[in-house]
Chains A and B, each alone.
Chain A
């Protein structure tokens, strides 16, 4: 476009309002996380607690801590949820990216004529989770995968594979084939050429993809909800346990877990923000 213009005053104000609207909800959850129980659901709502506290965070890992404030109802520590989230997300991410990497190279380099391979993989993303959850519960029950990390991870890999494949494919596409071919001329097999040439060259993209898939896995809720009994637990499931239709809500404790849950994602997201558009659009848009 033409040389960039400065913001007018009105535009600056609009931008400021948009910024406030964007950040206010995050401000609110952080404030709630440091409110003592008396401030949780005060009427009118308290914006900034006069006596900020870390009791909510402490309660996450020591459920009895909150009893000092006369609040009951927490008896399960969130520790298992945090560990579970890490196990499921990290494993599933690594698997999804590894399989996706092979698919990406395969599609980009050898399957140009076949349109259905990438589309079949993409279709995995079009499925409404609530709809496939029903048959999955039945299938998993019959093969003993309910309430196991193996089962949960298998699903996570399957539903994130479209993203990892397509995002990585776009990075491989960016790479001129001649580079690999040069390596092959040097006598390397195709596979070796990919392993030693292609992959190192898309290192940055690989990292961004890994982080992106991690965000997706870490956020997943529905499958974890229907497949967890006692052996497995994840943060989103634990979060929903604190608010129930029937019992009260442990606002502060729940907010503390929410903050813990979103903190890594915001950090990760910040690092890969230049690749986010590519990830979200299956590589259709590159920055």
Chain B
């Protein structure tokens, strides 16, 4: 897979990179330009390598601020890691919970976004206005989204009022009181916030599907359902994959909304991995321990995302040429 991918890029590059003789001659000019990526790389290394190294070193110590400075702390080998993986239910649960919430959110956002995008292929009045309206949630700050839904989900809030009107007085729910409802609240919030992104990406994908295969299928007597699932969806696949990866990258970071909605409660039933690390580090100040958790998560997420990127990496790198 990997070799295949790289060889493909090379061929493309060879085609593209046939420079005019004049350009090839300007070696001196190229010298400066070659370093154009250096500032960007330096900044990226600053966020990647240095924190990783610091986190790695910290994770092998028993440091907390109550034990003096980092350099004075004792090295304790893999104790933090074994504790995290074999003792700390909260950590394992937070990881599983984050993946679960992410999965549910992605599926819901995808389905709703796709449904909406398909409706937008039809013609109706005020379409462009509606298009803007549907994108609005994406523009709202995550903290604000969390706060809005925190208000909406209050026991005397409008969501319960509506539930009571439709399903009777018994239907009101204490959203932040039971673990399941609290998780549901988090998911609903996240789905409201990011369905528009799926809608946007899928709509632009749908619009760029060539008409000929679709026409041909219709002429051959395919039903609209068949056309959609057999012809349109396969052509949409790369776009869907991109959408999933982009969202997956963000949703596993889930923090702001949960911080405002539940702070991880009740108990630790909505604690995402971000929230758990935040609490370890900035409530309990178990900095070394938090660093171990952070390091595991960083490595895990980097691997996961790079794996997910594999199928579309070249598409991203080539910039669709």
Contacts and interface: CB of A to CB of B under 8 A. Distances in A.
Contacts of B196: 22
Interface string A72-88: 00000000000000000
A159 interface: yes
B215 A2 contact: yes
Interface residues of B, number: 126
A144 interface: no
Interface in B25-80: 26, 28-30, 32-37, 39-41, 43-48, 50-52, 54-55, 58, 70
Nearest to A276: B200
Given A133-B281, A258-B147, A262-B140, A106 B37 contact: yes
B204 interface: yes
Interface string A163-179: 00110011001100100
B136 interface: yes
A102 B140 contact: no
A146 interface: no
Interface string A128-172: 111111111111000000000000001101110110011001100
Contacts of B141: 218-219, 221, 235-236, 258, 261-262, 265
B156 A41 contact: yes
A131 B17 CA distance: 40
Interface stretch (A43-51, A60-68, A201-209): A43-51
Given A124-B48, A138-B287, A191-B32, A240 B246 contact: no
A189 B40 CA distance: 22
Nearest to B156: A43
- Chain B contact surface mostly: helix
Interface in A5-20: 5-7, 11-12, 14-15, 18-19
Contact of B255 (A15, A130, A166, A276): A130
B210 to A, nearest CB: 9
A132 B201 contact: no
Interface in B247-299: 249, 252-253, 255-256, 259-260, 263, 273-275, 277-278, 281-282, 287, 290-291, 293-295, 297-298
B154 A222 contact: no
A118 B317 contact: yes
Contacts of A138: 54, 58, 70, 287
A243 B147 contact: yes
Contact of A22 (B124, B136, B287): B136
A221 B16 CA distance: 42
A221 B143 contact: yes
A239 B143 CA distance: 8
B163 interface: no
B231 to A, nearest CB: 10
A281 to B, nearest CB: 5
Nearest to B321: A173
B243 A243 contact: no
B62 to A, nearest CB: 15
Contact of A130 (B26, B135, B156, B294): B294
Majority-rule SS of A interface residues: helix
Contacts of B255: 129-130, 221-222
Nearest to A238: B143
Given A7-B124, A18-B116, 13 more contacts: A5-B122, A22-B196, A108-B319, A131-B293, A135-B51, A266-B140, A273-B131, A273-B132, A276-B138, A281-B243, A284-B242, A287-B204, A287-B207
CB-CB nearest 6 A-B residue pairs: A103-B40, A106-B36, A173-B319, A131-B294, A269-B139, A106-B37
Interface of B: 6, 9-10, 12-13, 16-17, 19-20, 22-23, 26, 28-30, 32-37, 39-41, 43-48, 50-52, 54-55, 58, 70, 112, 115-116, 119, 121-124, 130-145, 147-152, 154, 156-158, 161, 192, 196-197, 200-201, 204-207, 209, 211, 214-215, 218, 239, 242-243, 246, 249, 252-253, 255-256, 259-260, 263, 273-275, 277-278, 281-282, 287, 290-291, 293-295, 297-298, 301-302, 305-306, 312-313, 315-321
